[in-house]
Structure 1
Amino acid sequence: MAQSIQAGDNPIQAYDLAVIGGGINGAGIAADAAGRGLSVFLCERDDLASHTSSASSKLVHGGLRYLEHYEFRLVREALAEREVLLRKAPHIVRPMRFVLPHRPHLRPAWMIRAGLFLYDHLGKREQLPGSHGVKFDSASALKPSIKRGFEYSDCWVDDARLVVLNAQAAQEKGANIQTRTACVGAHKDGEGWLVTLQRADGSRYSIRCRALVNAAGPWVAKLLGEQLRERSPYGIRLVQGSHIIVPRLYEGEHAFILQNEDRRIVFAIPYLDRYTMIGTTDREYRGDPAQVAITEAEIDYLLGVVNDHFRYQVRREEILHSFSGVRPLCDDESDNPSAITRDYTLALADGPAPLLSVFGGKLTTYRKLAESAMAQLKPYFPTMGAPWTADAPLPGGEEMGTDVGGLAHALQREVRGLPATLAARWATTYGQRSWRLLGEVRDISGLGECLGADLYAREVDYLCEAEWASEADDVLWRRTKLGLVFNADERTRLERYLAERLSTREPNAA
């Protein structure tokens, strides 16, 4: 537990560890540390997962194309983590088959078969089936000239919810999670750090911590230089990745991995039953990561790749939504943004007040990154507990098994009038925490006002109280993915409801 230290008239909370950044790496480190018995504070200047961690291709995957860059350690670790995350969070992680159309002039069949053999055997594989060749007939959604290909396994994940669940796990182990709270300065003070924080309303307060973790993602180097007055030990390369969402291109629950003439790949992935998500791009980015947006050139690129493969030709006006993120990759001096390593690097500034900075990383390996971070910090906390996250379910994944459909049916049986579509969405969003959302409610009339698209007031209340949501985008894009179906009037209704809740809420406390 955090301790209070008197400083003049104001008590300052003291923690073992403070984590700056509420993306997947920060949330994962906070959860791991709190579960080992450390007192933990995490601050995020915006919403959880509001930047890179919600702008991914939403995959838990080994990274088939990383084999071409000889990233064997990263691929092995990521392949093993697929199985771990399937067990930890079966409500938000699900197996998915990937179809790779063969284009002989890009990569010969023997090369692909060799890569898939490694993919099948590099990591421990218990739940996912292996790869095999496929032939396409006249019923295929692909162009008639594409006759054969390959199929293998990876997983889909709700990326933003993975972050939120780790933050919940951290909180339930005693961590203090503060969103919309920026670190505006920190300096070494005695045998630790004095960290100055600023809330969204401009008010400031301070905390102390024995060790500090910089998990600011695209801002990791900027935070080091401007807020911490430390030199960055590594250069950072910002690589923009963009996606588009279009009406569903093909039937089936499988994804496609499409090869392009520049030897990059683009995914076409089923998304929310009604759509196909297409991405990602790789381009150097030099602007403000908070302002990243898809470019016309990226739209052309993605449409070009998908239209080279599919019978149906997607038109620009069919794009329903796009999103972009900036991946903060450790600079390995590669000339090609696609070839920059996706592996992570942890930089520890030693001394009585340690500072650990996180460079790079990928969604799939966040848990291993957190374990590596704790291994580096262990000399400063010799009594911390042992690694524990591999076998611990994330919130909602408790006693789930793989029967997400069974949970949806149970919700329908228990709540009179609950639509099947809503029960299924809750099951795949909240898992067993759906029962906490419901509380004693057993009739749909008890869910309160419907704000649009089967989003009821009770669910919004739960998201505000248990998942740190406070603005419409938090609810629509990072907690529920209902942003694609909400219209302008419904969004206004939600914003009004959230504003009314905020006006009656007690001020945020440290």
Structure 2
Amino acid sequence: MQQLDTATPLDLFVIGGGINGVGIANDAAGRGLSVALCEQGDLASATSSSSSKLIHGGLRYLEHREFRLVGEALREREVLLAKAPHIIWPLRFILPYRAHLRPAWMIRTGLFLYDHLGRRSRLAVSQGVRLDASLGLKPDISRGFEYSDCWVDDARLVVLNAIQARDHGAEVMVRTRCIGARDVNDRWEIELEDTRNGQRFFRRARSLVNAAGPWVEQVLRQQAGRDSRYAIRMIQGSHLVVPRLNQDDRAYILQHTDRRIVFVLPWEDDYSLVGTTDRRYQGDPAEVAASDEEVAYLLSVVNDHFRTRLTRDDVIHTFSGVRPLCDDESADPSAMTRDYTLALDTSGAPLLSVFGGKITTYRKLAEAALADLAPCLPGMGRAWTATAPLPGGDIDSQDDFAARLLATYPFLEPGQARRYARSYGTLCLAFLDGKASTAALGEAFGAGLTQAEVDYLVANEWACTAEDILWRRTKLGVRLDEPARRRLADYLAAPLTAATKAATTPS
């Protein structure tokens, strides 16, 4: 075990590499604070990569009178769309009207509020629509409503915030578990373990942020030895990937008789993403998986609306996440608040814990967290994230940038250029620079994934395993067969270069 570092303590140490943790670390580092973050797995490896991939106000939250949350989320929708046009883009939603469910007047009222609760300069207004047979819906569904929200690559949103935090001087440690955090003379001594090699080491900090998501209570009680003011209720949400149900670029929001809604979202060009469920979860959040009951539920909602009948055999992939919602004692998981709660404990060294939250409002949550910590960190600079683009986001549009890539690198496949544009933006220039042919990109693993891209992800984006690359940094896991996945895993397991080791191992 290394000796305790007795150097000047960090201003802030963050536990948790999901969207809230990296959002706080990024904001803090950009304000001139010294920051470090640890994540026990990969960045976004839990809840933050298992969302419905939406930047949205949450239309259904209006039914539960969550007006503050919806208004803030709608305002953030515009902010994030401007900050990250490479990974966030507008999406039109069709809500089929079913007379036996919500009445038309209620939907119109909700959409009116949705259009006006937040500033809307980039997105089109809602409207009523006639639905024809070309959409693939059942013949009795002929009316509906259409409105706007946004799509996001959730895992890349996390990674880009981590990159920006690192660019501002933050230390980001993946596969690094917090063993314990002791309050010693009003300073935190944080013991860490690199789970890849068992190495243990320390960091010291003036303040500690517990953004451990589903593990927030565990970190509070077991690692930090503090009591929790709030309880969380873990809610499981599962999604299915199926062959594309509609050929246009719109999404669907489907009502069910239990008053829940299910999204059908265009995903990776050839697929539809169906979700999500809401059910109480008890157990290890790392082991959550879609149940047969959830799969049947989602398929039944889709089959109630679309002519093409899906069966279990049509399900290509499933994923599940656990949403750690602040327990408001609601009997219905769907009615539990998605708002965030911040708990600051100043009984000793400052400890701020994050309960709940949604991906759309992560930036506002970070600003609120730092506002709470400001008295403990008097050297903190001003808020800055509202207007600063995320790394790679300095593009006009995905289409324009993809065209620029094809003009500059004519050996790229059009689909490859589109994927680079909507995943990396200008960051892809780091691994394309100087390349004049397909051969120059190195080994081809399939579906447009090459050695040059893989090496970049390992050296610059903390990727360690095939899963990190195939399901979080990209979504190519849905396209590569098992032999190709094994080949990628074998490549990553080969001895690392000194440069790569330096990029992925904490000091």
TM-score range normalised by the length of the shorter chain: over 0.9
Which residue number in structure 2 is paired with residue 255 of structure 1? Answer: 251
Which residue number in structure 2 is paired with residue 129 of structure 1? Answer: 124
Which residue number in structure 1 is paired with residue 506 of structure 2? Answer: 509
Distance in 2, Cα, partners of 1:210 & 1:481:
38
Distance in 2, Cα, partners of 1:197 & 1:217:
18
Which residue number in structure 1 is paired with residue 68 of structure 2? Answer: 73
Partner secondary structure for residue 159 of structure 2 = helix
Cα offsets for 1:120-151 (capped at 9, x unmatched): 00000000001000111233311111120100
Structure 1 segments of 4+ aligned residues over 3 angstroms from their partners: 7-13, 501-507
Distance in 2, Cα, partners of 1:48 & 1:237:
23
Which residue number in structure 1 is paired with residue 169 of structure 2? Answer: 174
Shift of 1:11: 5.3
Following superposition of structure 1 onto structure 2, how do residues 81-92 of structure 1 map, counting pairs within 5 Å?
81-92=76-87
Cα offsets for 1:231-258 (capped at 9, x unmatched): 1110100000000010001110000000
Matched, 1:289 2:285: yes
Letter in structure 2 aligned against 1:87 = A
Which residue number in structure 2 is paired with residue 118 of structure 1? Answer: 113
TM norm structure 2: 0.97
Task: Calculate the aligned-residue CA RMSD, in Å.
Answer: 1.3
Letter in structure 2 aligned against 1:359 = F
8 Å CA contact retained: 2:5, 2:203: no
Structure 2: tracts of 5 or more residues without a match? none
Letter in structure 2 aligned against 1:365 = T
TM norm structure 1: 0.97
Which residue number in structure 1 is paired with residue 381 of structure 2? Answer: 385
Greater mean deviation of Cα atoms: 349-358 or 271-280: 349-358
Partner secondary structure for residue 342 of structure 2 = strand
Partner secondary structure for residue 208 of structure 1 = strand
Distance in 1, Cα, partners of 2:495 & 2:163:
21
Distance in 1, Cα, partners of 2:218 & 2:496:
32
Distance in 1, Cα, partners of 2:22 & 2:4:
32
Cα offsets for 1:324-370 (capped at 9, x unmatched): 00000000000000000000000000145100000000000000000
Greater mean deviation of Cα atoms: 485-494 or 212-221: 485-494
Distance in 2, Cα, partners of 1:503 & 1:232:
44
Distance in 1, Cα, partners of 2:347 & 2:431:
45
Which residue number in structure 2 is paired with residue 366 of structure 1? Answer: 362
Matched, 1:486 2:483: no
8 Å CA contact retained: 1:196, 1:205: yes
Letter in structure 2 aligned against 1:396 = G
Question: 1:370/1:9 Cα in 2 relative to 1: closer, same or farther (>3 Å)?
Answer: closer
Greater mean deviation of Cα atoms: 269-278 or 137-146: 137-146
Which of 422, 430, 441 is the aligned partner of 2:424?
Answer: 430
Matched, 1:467 2:461: yes
Matched, 1:357 2:353: yes
Letter in structure 1 aligned against 2:117 = L
Shift of 1:103: 1.0
Greater mean deviation of Cα atoms: 349-358 or 126-135: 349-358
Which of 345, 348, 371 is the aligned partner of 1:375?
Answer: 371
Shift of 1:381: 1.4
Which residue number in structure 2 is paired with residue 406 of structure 1? Answer: 400
8 Å CA contact retained: 2:36, 2:172: yes
Letter in structure 1 aligned against 2:425 = G
Matched, 1:210 2:196: no
Matched, 1:94 2:95: no
Distance in 2, Cα, partners of 1:250 & 1:140:
6
8 Å CA contact retained: 2:3, 2:201: no
8 Å CA contact retained: 2:180, 2:223: yes
8 Å CA contact retained: 1:258, 1:266: yes
Distance in 2, Cα, partners of 1:8 & 1:256:
56
Structure 1: tracts of 5 or more residues without a match? 1-6
Letter in structure 2 aligned against 1:70 = R
Distance in 2, Cα, partners of 1:380 & 1:345:
19
8 Å CA contact retained: 1:43, 1:182: yes
Which residue number in structure 1 is paired with residue 331 of structure 2? Answer: 335
Partner secondary structure for residue 502 of structure 1 = coil
Cα offsets for 1:427-451 (capped at 9, x unmatched): 1110011111223223222111111
Question: 1:316/1:386 Cα in 2 relative to 1: closer, same or farther (>3 Å)?
Answer: same
8 Å CA contact retained: 1:416, 1:444: no
Cα offsets for 1:179-223 (capped at 9, x unmatched): 000001011011210000000111100110000000000000011
Question: 1:203/1:94 Cα in 2 relative to 1: closer, same or farther (>3 Å)?
Answer: same
Which residue number in structure 2 is paired with residue 476 of structure 1? Answer: 470
